[in-house]
Chains A and B, each alone.
Chain A
């Protein structure tokens, strides 16, 4: 994702991926129009309307808001309430549980801008959280606010918007701690100028972190205490997961313009079943135990398996999604460790897939590529 501001990308239809506030501009405007509940200072919508935007619903005049996040309503309410209490929000979860997705939509709904983003990497420096210098200007004019290059964090503080920090735990620990002052004092000192930036109301931070990567750069307890932690789980029921996958695949397929039929619900359900069973280590009927592979088997991976299957069907197949289009993607998603995962996968194929009614084609296709 880039840091473009929305204005530079006016011709939205040519974009590979639109920001949430661009894609759902209509819904946001309609919500704002009808929303009469009290809004926290500088919020574009009331907390209630934010929840409706994220979870979907029908407004009083019959306008339908599509759900952006399918899952536990309470989790979303906690996240929104956290932002309303001016505590920073930390979204935790295994890979592929829609952390970034949710953060983006929260920022779009609360502040109308999801682009104030700091991507956390091992190379993220203090400048990208605080500010940098335009050295040409610095040399020519000496230190001044003009020579300062503000970070997304600083811009969010100045404008009272939400800043997002992606993959917080990948940022080196000493850089992470830069956030402490920002989060507790709500100010960003600029000692070089004897100045500071004080956050105006509405400013807050949403961070995401992956709890599989624990220990990469564990948050210091000082920083940890400044966040409210919300854990996003994997979808609770198969139906929920099927719905998520179906919705996303349709959206992505639309964007990529595959000349292919939308996959049948039955096909999606089969893939979701495979993912859920391997993730939970037990078959959906609860009767057979199976070993779990080393990968996370997240919903996001299920979506990408389906997508690559669609691409295969569109360009090399007959335009209809078949078992052999999915097989290679499926094997790739399961077998991350060539030795152990292969055993797990073969065991699963032989003991579960083979016996299952109507799954013959899947079994055969997978056997071919495994």
Chain B
């Protein structure tokens, strides 16, 4: 390399706003003629798009293998990422910018399959690693921890933030960082000297640094004079001390190579955050964004943002409180011997002053401000993402072209192609791409058929790009999306609906988690209503499981549990209901009963009928429910006719309140004019009860019974009347035998009954 080239190394912390600011200032001062950035050279062609006016961070560079899109790496960028600032500075001044990390082409080979292929962010930065990796080789992976502990901090992130990120005037900071890192690396070399051979991670790191040095040498050879190098702080010393080019070349010999492709994808603040799957290790992107965009009065401006948010949510937040919160944050930072309050102090002050110690609003603040809800945008010229490729492939395979015209699709689920199509449509729906809308099937047996209305809308392309954050194949993305939904599903009905969707979309990977969550949620649910509401969906899934070829065996256990829990909780849930709640419970009872009678499991039937029996014995039960319990038991042949009659007369005896008695009749017969006509047993029960009444009682109960009968349709009532007048002769002999009634007296009742029924 020519002697004339001067090399300037800037060791930064990925996604640190303080680093970004210092870097930008240093670059302005230095005026380099080339900038080398730690990043994948595979994506070199994508760089110019960064300066595109439509480009809005947060975005991520995606490097993937076109032949196996699930082998991919994301490099997220926010506006406060030093790399982003370096690149945009370079592009705006027409300075060449190059990525200099070891290309992913050498890293995404199959050998690395068992590692963390989707591990986020810029590799090599200590905080990016998953915890287990961290533990494994804590010394090498988390060098900052050492420095932090030496300075009396519990956590390396916070230390860096205080010492480096919060400085606002520093330009010599990079020399200090370099010095500290050099000392650290020397210490680390001593620690790791014992194992001699470089293995796994260490080897990868050595190769990456060797490649970076080679890139620097190339730039020097090409005659660039002032070379600016932007890399993670950890790598800075390794790039300052150049070994011979030969050594590096030896390290980089015979690397495996695969074909890679790269593109930009929109990213979200939430996914920059540590908590979610692919994170970039930034716990508070919103706060960083605020630090980046605010130069003066960081805390005051933040507090006003918080207050505005709280007011939007109809919570009190007066300016006086904002003042007090700022004061408390500052006092706290003094107490902790810090020059400026950081996020911890700010949050504590907000909770103490603005939220009256309550932490619920803090969660809102965290979601809306500290993390933020910004969604990045990429220019329309951006090459397509793997998810799109995958979908196109699937569409071709299933001969299901994306057409902008509306089309009806009738799928026969017994055919392999059709069921695959159905899975694809369901998965896309799960991803928020409603290409197909399900129509209800009429006529043919619904079990084997699915009717879809498909229409490809142009905006689905955008949805697809957005869905790209979930995964690179339709199935991967759907799984990730479903898992995310599980986390956010708050109650049982939502989880059950999700279970249905997941089973329809054939994502067995998710079912296990879902079932676990369902069980936990069911154990927690105190609301029997929710359990009852969820049961039909579960039963449906179980029933059609075979047709859909889904493994639903786990469901049987859940349903057993559900029935047991419902049985335990139903009695208290039915006590002291008002008319409205009773009407809801009435429907739920019907639903559960339908499920239980559909599944025909002996144990269920026994428990369920046991509960109904106990319920109907309760004197204080709402009439509607009591009547229906009675009816369900009659239908299930669990009651003898005499049983029912006894209950009927008990419920309608003069001592009971007329309204209550009327509700009982309603519960018993509601909506069942037809079945009354066709169910011999029910008819008999009623008939015998009416004919058994004494005259006074009959007159007293007449209005109550009429109330329900009046709700039947006219033809129904007419047929009932016909049946009574025609069929009386047929029924009469049995009556005589059974109850020994006075025949003439009984017949005398009939015309009145016919009139009562409005015939």
Seen from chain A, the residues whose Cβ lies within 8 Å of a Cβ on chain B are 47-48, 51, 74, 77-78, 80-82, 84-85, 87, 90, 92, 221, 224-225, 227-231, 289
- Residues of chain A with a CB closer than 8 A to B324's CB: 85, 87, 228
Scan B339-365; emit 1 where CB is below 8 A from any A CB, else 0. 000001000110011011111000000
Contact B316 A221 (CB under 8 A): yes
Are the CB atoms of B357 and A92 closer together than 8 Å? yes
B327 within 8 A of A: yes
**7 closest cross-chain pairs (CB), A and B:** A229-B357, A231-B357, A81-B331, A81-B332, A229-B356, A228-B352, A289-B523
Taking residues whose C-beta sits less than 8 angstroms from the other chain, chain B's interface range is 20 to 34
Minimum Cβ distance to chain B for residue A48 (Å): 7
Closest to A227 in B: B356
Beta-carbon contact of A84 and B357 below 8 Å: no
Contact A228 B328, beta carbon cutoff 8 Å: yes
CB distance from A253 to the nearest CB of B (A): 34
Known: A85-B327, A87-B324, A228-B328. A74 touches B335 (CB 8 A): no
Give the docked Cα–Cα distance between A92 and B355 (Å).
Answer: 13
Assess the A225–B321 pair: CB atoms within 8 A: yes
When C-beta atoms are compared, the residue in chain A nearest to B347 turns out to be A74
Contact partner of B524 (CB less than 8 A), chosen from A87, A229, A289, is A289
Is there contact, CB below 8 Å, between A229 and B335? Answer: no
With A78-B352, A221-B316, A225-B321 already in contact, the answer to whether A90 and B357 are too (CB < 8 A) is: yes
A78 and B321 alpha carbons, distance in the complex (Å): 16
Q: In the bound complex, how far is the Cα of B523 from the Cα of A231, in angstroms?
A: 29
Cβ-defined partner of A78 (8 Å) among B320, B348, B359, B523: B348
Contact indicator B344/A230 (Cβ below 8 Å): no
Q: Does B68 contact A (CB under 8 A)?
A: no
Q: Which of B321-336 contact A (CB under 8 A)?
A: 321, 324, 327-328, 331-332, 335-336
A-B contacts, 10 of them at CB < 8 A, read A48-B335, A51-B335, A74-B348, A78-B328, A78-B332, A82-B328, A84-B331, A225-B320, A228-B352, A229-B355
- Is B713 an interface position by the 8 A CB rule? no
Which A residue sits closest to B526, measured CB to CB? Answer: A291
Number of A-B pairs, beta carbon distance below 8 Å:
58
A82 touches B335 (CB 8 A): no
A84 touches B344 (CB 8 A): no
Contact partner of B335 among A47, A87, A221, A230, CB < 8 A?
Answer: A47
- B:499-527 near A, CB below 8 Å: 520, 523-524
B318 vs chain A, min Cβ distance (A)? 7
How far is the CB of A90 from the nearest CB of chain B, in Å? 7
* Chain B residue contacts of A51, Cβ below 8 A: 335
User: How far, in angstroms, from A296 to B226 measured CA to CA in the complex?
Assistant: 68
Q: Which residues of A contact B335 (CB under 8 A)?
A: 47-48, 51, 77, 80-81, 84
Could you say which residues of chain B place their CB within 8 Å of the CB of A47? 335
A85 to B353, CA, bound (A): 12
Task: Taking A77-B335, A81-B328 as given, write out 12 further A-B residue pairs in contact, using a Cβ cutoff of 8 Å, ordered by the A residue number.
Answer: A48-B335, A82-B331, A84-B331, A87-B328, A225-B316, A225-B320, A228-B352, A228-B353, A229-B352, A229-B358, A231-B357, A231-B359
Q: Is B357 within 8 A of A74, CB to CB?
A: no
B413 to chain A minimum Cβ distance, whole angstroms, is 38
| A48 nearest CB neighbor, chain B only | B335
| Chain B residues within an 8 Å CB radius of A92 | 357
Shortest CB distance B311–A (Å)? 14
Q: CA separation between A77 and B331, bound complex, in Å?
A: 10
Q: Which residues of B contact A231 (CB under 8 A)?
A: 357-359
A residues less than 8 Å from B327 (CB atoms): 85, 87
Contact between B523 and A85, CB atoms less than 8 A apart: no
Contact A77 B336 (CB under 8 A): yes
Give the residue of A81, A230, A289 whose beta carbon is less than 8 angstroms from that of B357.
A230
Within the assembled complex, what's the spacing in Å between the Cα atoms of A229 and B355? Answer: 8
Contact check, B318 vs A225: say whether CB atoms are below 8 A apart.
Answer: yes
* Bound CA–CA A229/B328 (angstroms): 12
Which residue of chain A lies nearest to B357 when distances are taken between CB atoms in the complex? A229
Bound Cα distance from A47 to B327, whole angstroms: 15
Given the complex, which residues of A lie within 8 Å of B359, measured CB to CB?
A: 231
Residues in A with CB closer than 8 Å to B356 are 224, 227, 229
Which residues of chain A are within 8 angstroms of B331 by Cβ–Cβ distance? 81-82, 84-85
CB-defined contacts of A228 to chain B, threshold 8 Å = 324, 328, 352-353
Contacts of A227 in B (CB 8 A): 356
Q: How far is the CB of B342 from chain A (nearest CB, A)?
A: 13
Complex contacts, B316 vs chain A, CB 8 Å: 221, 225
A92 and B359 alpha carbons, distance in the complex (Å): 12
- Distance, CA A198 to CA B356, complexed state (A): 27
Whether the Cβ atoms of A85 and B328 lie closer than 8 Å is yes
Q: How far is the CA of A84 from the CA of B324 in the complex (A)?
A: 12
Nearest residue, chain A, Cβ from B353: A228
Q: Which residues of A contact B352 (CB under 8 A)?
A: 78, 82, 228-230
Which residues of B59-102 are within 8 A (CB) of A?
none
Residues of A within 8 A of B320 (CB): 225
In angstroms, Cα B321 to Cα A28, docked, is: 34
Chain B residues lying within 8 Å of A84, measured Cβ to Cβ, are: 331, 335
Chain A residues near B524 (CB-CB < 8 A) = 289
* Complex Cα spacing A48 to B334, Å: 10
Q: Which chain A residue lies CB-closest to B359?
A: A231
Residues of A within 8 A of B348 (CB): 74, 78
Kindly name the residue among B327, B349, B357 whose own CB sees the greatest number of chain A CB atoms within 10 A: B357
* Residue in A74, A78, A225 with the greatest tally of chain B CB atoms within 10 Å: A78
Residues of B within 8 A of A229 (CB): 352-353, 355-358
Query: A36 CB to closest chain B CB, in angstroms?
Result: 14
Contacts of B328 in A (CB 8 A): 78, 81-82, 85, 87, 228
